[in-house]
Amino acid sequence: MQFAKGQRVRFLNDVGEAEVLSVEGNLVCVLRSDGFDEWYPSEELIVVEDDVLSQHLERQTIRPKDQEVIRVSKSETFTPKLSTMEIDLHIHNLVDNERLISKEKILDVQLFHARQAIENARKKNIRRVVLIHGIGQGILRKELIKLLDGYDRLQYYDASYQKYGHGATEVELW
């Protein structure tokens, strides 16, 4: 893909947008939203107008199969009978190479995917979303609660202990 000075781009394995400052061969220098300029390989950037992830999610069709659970993406599954979507927010399920993301950005990526799952569920009239956050130190769970508190027309609670232990939150959309 060709990049030009002034284009808006997103990062394939990071959260946020940037502006292209210059291009030298396969390397692109961008001005990040945090004010720093940084060099990235061109294959790690997506032009905002050609946002592949959003276009892919818009085109995604969920149709019943013989199996009870349908894998929608690497981190999302859908159960037609129960009209439930599951998204595993463990970072290794969300990005191809987790080592390319700084520890500070991991939470941003996880929350971005949680927001996308809720928005996609609403668009597709899916009534339940299970956000699998794991147990860990509870940081992601606390941030998910803050995120969910900002939404209207939903309620959330701990997901089934038998199925998920203490590591998931179920969201019911109306």
For residues 41-80, one letter each, b for 16 or more C-beta atoms within 10 angstroms of the residue's C-beta and e for the rest, the string is: eeebbbbeeeeeeeeebeeeeeeeeeeeeeebbebbbbbe
CB 169 within 8 A of CB 130: yes
Q: Judge if 45 and 64 occupy the same domain.
A: no
Q: Exposed (0-12), middle (13-18) or buried (19+): which is 108, by Cβ within 10 Å? A: middle
pLDDT of residue 72: 55
Q: Judge if 68 and 97 occupy the same domain.
A: yes
Q: Judge if 131 and 154 occupy the same domain.
A: yes
Q: Judge if 13 and 79 occupy the same domain.
A: no
- Domain of 121: which CATH number? 3.30.1370.110
CB count within 10 Å of CB 155 equals: 11
Quote the number of domains for the chain: 2
For residue 1, being part of any structural domain is answered with: no
Q: Judge if 12 and 92 occupy the same domain.
A: no
Q: Which two tokens stand for residue 33?
A: 């939203």
Domain that holds residue 22: 8-50
- Domain of 19: which CATH number? 2.30.30
> Residue 169, CB half-sphere, CA atoms under 13 Å: how many?
23
Q: Judge if 83 and 34 occupy the same domain.
A: no
Q: Judge if 40 and 89 occupy the same domain.
A: no
3-class DSSP state of 173? strand
Q: For residues 106 and 32, give the distance between their C-alpha atoms in angstroms, rounded to a whole number.
A: 17
pLDDT of residue 54: 52
Q: What are phi and psi of 130, to 5 degrees?
A: -105, 120
CB count within 10 Å of CB 156 equals: 18
Q: Judge if 104 and 167 occupy the same domain.
A: yes
For residue 19, being part of any structural domain is answered with: yes
pLDDT of residue 67: 40
Which helix (H) or strand (E) segment holds residue 133: the answer is none
**Close Cβ partners of 115 (under 8 Å, ≥ 6 residues apart):** 147
pLDDT of residue 24: 92
Q: Judge if 21 and 102 occupy the same domain.
A: no
For residue 76, being part of any structural domain is answered with: yes
Q: What are phi and psi of 80, to 5 degrees?
A: -60, -45
Q: Judge if 40 and 83 occupy the same domain.
A: no
pLDDT of residue 65: 39
pLDDT averages per 10-residue partition of the chain, 174 residues: 86 80 92 84 79 50 45 57 79 81 84 89 87 88 92 90 89 89
